[in-house]
Amino acid sequence: MPIVFVHHNVKLAPLSASTATPVLWSTLETVPIASTDRHAVYTAPAHFEAPNWSRDGSFFLLNQDGGIYRLPVAGGSPIRISTGSQVKCNNDHGLSPDGATLAISDSTAQGKSLVYTVPLAGGTPKQITTVAPSYWHSFSPDGQTIAFTSTRDNNSDVYTIPASGGQEHRLTSDPGIDNGPDYSPDGQWIYFNSERTGQMQIWRMHPDGSAPEQVLTTDTTDWFPHISPDGKWMAFLSYEKGTPGHPADKDVTVNLMSLADKKTKVLATLFGGQGTINVPSWSPDSTKVAFVSYEYLVDEPRE
């Protein structure tokens, strides 16, 4: 015979709404391409983005609250680099091949991003681009040229300009978005992402814009190709198919492709997107990739 439980004088009431506040935590991680064993270097209840690895492998660069910071690879606290009056830096920044010059993208002057260079030790930035918005993405291997993107007449394209400033050169003109240019270490190619096929995919072209070709075809929306210093690998970011732009707060993957045979694998699955690997983030020895993952944690109020 089944047992029946009878409850008397029961009052049903809706649960009270939680007053807890979700707090964004950012984590700078590294992952070796051989094992995919992720390592958290630095975690904080703050929004930071886009790690670059220093040329000597001793520190990372990242952006937070409009500033550019150095963070020791061994861990510790970030130290802000002086960028003069440019105090609205975004996540498109990186180092020259000799490691002495930092390129930044900053919107202080016009309310829209422009590209500047500044000594890595800090100082007064030199304005490189004149048309806003423009966003740094890569130095040529000889350090003489900068590849950047700019949106004009509602069309995002890839440009190059001398690293000392001067005449810009437009490399793409297809409708839609061409973005994320990254020089190959031998200087023969610029890798970039383009939606010219109707879905964002990875392409490459010669540094003068000639001979564009699709690098691989996937079912995902792919962004920000970065070539390893030894020229053997490409890291890139993937969103779910159909994702517009490169938004934050999405489930994404950091992927690895062999340039020899185009075989790919997932290095990390995470919550992120914008700010995860916008810029070159390979270790100097080509064995690891740095990236940022995000998490919203509940900060419970205290009595």
DSSP string of 118-139?
A: EETT----EE---SSSEEEEEE
DSSP letter at 280 equals -
- pLDDT of 300 reads 57
Tokens of 237: 């970011």
Q: Which of 264, 216, 274, 220 is nearest to 243 (CA)?
A: 220
Q: How far apart are CA 28 and CA 39, in angstroms?
A: 9
Is residue 73 a contact partner of residue 41, using CB atoms and an 8 Å limit? Answer: yes
Q: How far apart are CA 188 and CA 128, in angstroms?
A: 23
- pLDDT of 5 reads 33
Q: Which are the contacts of 47, defined by CB distance < 8 A and separation ≥ 6?
A: 24, 26, 64, 65, 275
- pLDDT of 103 reads 98
Cα–Cα distances in angstroms (integers) from residue 69 to residues 23, 52, 81, 177, 202, in the given order: 21, 10, 6, 29, 29
pLDDT along the chain (303 residues), means of 10: 37 50 96 96 97 98 98 94 98 98 98 98 98 98 98 95 98 95 98 97 98 97 98 98 96 98 98 97 98 90 46
Could you report how far apart the first and last alpha carbons of the chain are, in Å?
A: 49
Tokens 């061409």, residue?
178
- In the chain, DSSP finds a helix count (H) and a strand count (E) of 0, 23
- pLDDT of 15 reads 42
Angle value at C-alpha 204, between 200 and 205, nearest 5 degrees: 130
Q: How many residues appear in the chain?
A: 303
Q: How far apart are CA 229 and CA 186, in angstroms?
A: 9
Q: Which are the contacts of 135, defined by CB distance < 8 A and separation ≥ 6?
A: 90, 92, 105, 113, 115, 148, 149, 150
Q: How far apart are CA 225 and CA 180, in angstroms?
A: 7
What region, left, alpha or beta, does residue 221 occupy, with left being phi > 0 and alpha being psi -120 to 50 degrees?
beta
Buried b (16+ CB within 10 A) or exposed e, 142-156: eeebbbbbbbeeeeb
> Domains in the chain, ordered, with CATH?
23-299 (2.120.10.30)
Angle value at C-alpha 210, between 208 and 215, nearest 5 degrees: 115
DSSP letter at 206 equals -
Buried b (16+ CB within 10 A) or exposed e, 35-51: eeebeebbeeeeebbbb
Tokens of 284: 């100097």
